[in-house]
Amino acid sequence: MSNKSKKRDTEGNKYDKIFKENINSIFVKLVEWQSDFKIKDYKPLQPKLQTTLERELD
């Protein structure tokens, strides 16, 4: 892997981290603005992570 691709990978990870940290503060306002209704209360959902079973081949 070259230095440029490594740098792009870490920059993307930093962007994702910043986005995830700040999305909660703007998401409700963005939805309210886009849909023209007020949100009284909300509860964040837990992410569902997919898992696969590893099976040994015959």
Is 3 in a helix, a strand, or coil? helix
Q: What was the pLDDT predicted at 29? A: 87
d(CA 29, CA 27): 6
pTM of the predicted model, to two decimals? 0.41
Contact 20, 27 (CB under 8 A): no
Contact 40, 28 (CB under 8 A): no
From the list 44, 9, 11, 46, the residue with the least C-alpha distance to 28 is: 44
Residues 17-53: tens digit of each pLDDT: 888 888 877 888 888 899 988 888 888 788 888 788 7
Confidence label for 8 from pLDDT (cuts 50, 70 and 90): low
